[in-house]
Amino acid sequence: MQAEFSLINYFFTPYDHKTSPNLLYGNWRGFSLMVNPRAWLAEAVATYGLVFFGPLSVILAIASFGEDLTTMSVLFISLGHGGAIALMIYAFGHVSGAHINPAVTIPMMITRKIGIADGIGYIISQLIGAVAAAATLKAILPELGAKVNFATQGGPSELLNNSIGSGFAVEAILTFFLVLVIFMSAVHKKASAGWHGFTIGGMVFLVHLVGVPLTGASVNPARTFGPALISGFWEFHWLYWAAPILGGIIAGLIMNYVYVKKAEQEA
């Protein structure tokens, strides 16, 4: 007999952990709570990879192509971020889902693709990985990195007339489409197998291709938090939390209840 929904059901899912979409499991007989520290470690390492290679690509682009944004520097930065995400997804997707981003984890929690305790663990792990990566860059390239605040995004650019409203909209929209691609290529039951890393990495590449000249293209609070903490540059920091999380939640809710749940019911 299926248990009725309650808060207990939410935290203690009765399904076997090998088949449940949640990473928060419980034993109904003893009500013992378990979380998945291996997945937390995977999130920390994967986020470290993004925040090491992504900002490193920014630092090297400035060193190689000059301080002004050029086509080559934007392509270089976009490849650095998109490539890091794609490879980390293929490396850790089967362990933790490779969220690598609080703006991905929060929609997954809201749509019950992951439990609350593991979701919080994911976000903390992502922030730790991001800070560790930025600290590594400071140790390796202290002077070059400091020139660009270790690739901390600097707010809306002159192309947006330095408008906070426009910058917020850009970050929210870019994150909306990132989370849309994640839900439809990695979460949806009928998505083509094996393509999610390429697809999501490609979306991250596109996001940076158009977003770097506008806002610096965060779409990931952890990506901004790590370099900000190490550099001490906090201007506009709130924007890189609020806008991506809002855009991610909207995308997650729409994709889940319009497309993903329907496919789960048909399966």
Tens of pLDDT, residue by residue over 198-249, are 999 999 999 999 999 999 999 999 999 999 999 999 999 999 999 999 999 9
Query: What's the whole-number mean pLDDT along residues 11-32?
Result: 32
Q: What is the DSSP string of 123-191?
A: HHHHHHHHHHHHHHHHHHSHHHHHHTGGG---SS-GGGTT-HHHHHHHHHHHHHHHHHHHIIIIISTTS
Q: What's the domain count of the chain?
A: 2
Q: Please give the residue range of the domain that contains residue 8.
A: 1-34
- Do the Cβ atoms of 26 and 13 come closer than 8 Å? yes
Say yes or no: 82 and 212 in one domain.
Answer: yes
Condensed to tens digits (0 to 9), the pLDDT of residues 76-125 reads: 999 999 999 999 999 999 999 999 999 999 999 999 999 999 999 999 99
Tally of CB atoms within 10 A around 41: 16
Question: What is the predicted pLDDT for the residue at 79?
Answer: 98
- Domain CATH number, residue 254: 1.20.1080.10
Residues 7 and 123 in one domain: no
pLDDT confidence band for 267 (50 / 70 / 90): low
Query: How far apart (Å, rounded) are the C-alpha atoms in residues 184 and 191?
Result: 7
Within this chain, do residues 27 and 50 fall inside the same structural domain, yes or no? no
Q: In the predicted model, is pLDDT for residue 2 greater than 80? A: no
Evaluate the CA torsion angle 62, 68, 69, 71 in order and state its sign: negative
Task: Please give the structure tokens belonging to residue 93.
Answer: 């997707």
